Structure 1
Amino acid sequence: MSDTPVASYSKTQIWLHWSIAALILVQFVAPDGMQHVWRAFRRGQEVSPSDVPLAYMHVVIGLTVLTLAAWRLWLRIARGVPPVSGMEHPALRLLARATHFVIYALIFIVPLAGAVAWFLGVSAAAQVHVLGQNVLLYIVLLHTAGALFQHFVFKTDVLRRMLAFRQA
């Protein structure tokens, strides 16, 4: 990583941010197929043929999130990110840093736990997966509220930086 801070996020960083967000949103609004298949599997019951494609879609999207998250983290380390505005109270900067850390951790933990549950049949991993996805939902809501607070109250460019494609 360069010692000189970058002025903006790259197009790839922005694309990865919104792609991961969209894929996670799909996972939250369409989990039924996976839930039905998992319950049937755990109970030794017949799986409904209509649920199987949705379950596989859930697995593929989860593994895609994991892959994109690795790429995103690599870019963050290799390229860096723009500095924060400096207008916030140090406690808010700490909260933002902690929120980002938890989001990054969960976009790895949740799909990894799901994969272990699905491919190895480990129930404890399924519990970690469900708990992690619930925590992720609340942390993402906090992250969104923080970005909106930055934009509308502090009048910083934090939200605009992640919406505008400024450079490669």
Structure 2
Amino acid sequence: MSDMSVASYSKTQIWLHWSIAALILIQFLAHDGMEHVWRAFRRGQEASPGDVPLAYMHVVIGLAVLVLAARRLWLRATRGVPPVSGMEHPVLKLLAKATHFVIYALIFIVPLSGAAAWFLGVPGASLVHVLGKDILLYVVLLHAAGALVQHFVFKTDVLRRMLAFRQA
């Protein structure tokens, strides 16, 4: 990732952050159709017609997350990101970097493993997908809690930077 330092996130970076977050939230909340179709497939049964469109929606949204995540990572590498607050304890900075690294890794691993299971039938890919999804949930909750602690306890601008559309 780039060492370039910029004053704020771009509108595109902010849009990508919240779009990916919204799509992942949809995936967490509306995955039943995919689970039912996958279970039927694994048992050699026919899926319920009502679940099939939900399964395809899950696939499309997962691929959208992958494409948007690639764009986001490319922007991060080429444009840079604002520096972390100088007020943070080194342990908090390390935790923030580790959390971001895990989130970035999982927003690639989860859709790729799902695609490998769905399209290629790769053994074990569905397990990686489910475990990755579960880990992603907890790391995203940690990420959100960290942003809220930064805002309300440490009174930094970390949360405001991802909410404000300051530049193009």
Same-fold call, TM > 0.5?
yes
CA distance in 1, matches of 2:3, 2:127: 41
Deviations 1:67-122, CA, capped at 9 Å, x for gaps: 00000000000000000011111000000000000000000000000000000122
Q: Can you give the 5+ residue segments of structure 2 that lack an aligned partner in the other structure?
A: none
What is the identity, as a one-letter code, of the residue corresponding to 2:143?
H
The TM-score, its normalising length taken from structure 1, stands at 0.98
1:32 aligns to what?
32
Q: How does 1:31-110 map to 2 (within 5 A)?
A: 31-110=31-110
Work out the number of aligned pairs and report it.
Answer: 168
Cα separation, partners in 2 of 1:63 and 1:122, compared to 1, 3 Å:
same
Runs of 4+ more than 4 Å apart: 1-4
CA distance in 2, matches of 1:70, 1:7: 22
Cα separation, partners in 2 of 1:20 and 1:3, compared to 1, 3 Å:
closer
Percentage of matched positions with identical amino acids = 83
Q: CA-atom RMSD, angstroms?
A: 1.2
2:144 aligns to what?
144
CA distance in 1, matches of 2:50, 2:153: 47
CA distance in 2, matches of 1:141, 1:3: 27
The TM-score, its normalising length taken from structure 2, stands at 0.98
CA distance in 2, matches of 1:158, 1:4: 18
Q: Can you give the 5+ residue segments of structure 1 that lack an aligned partner in the other structure?
A: none
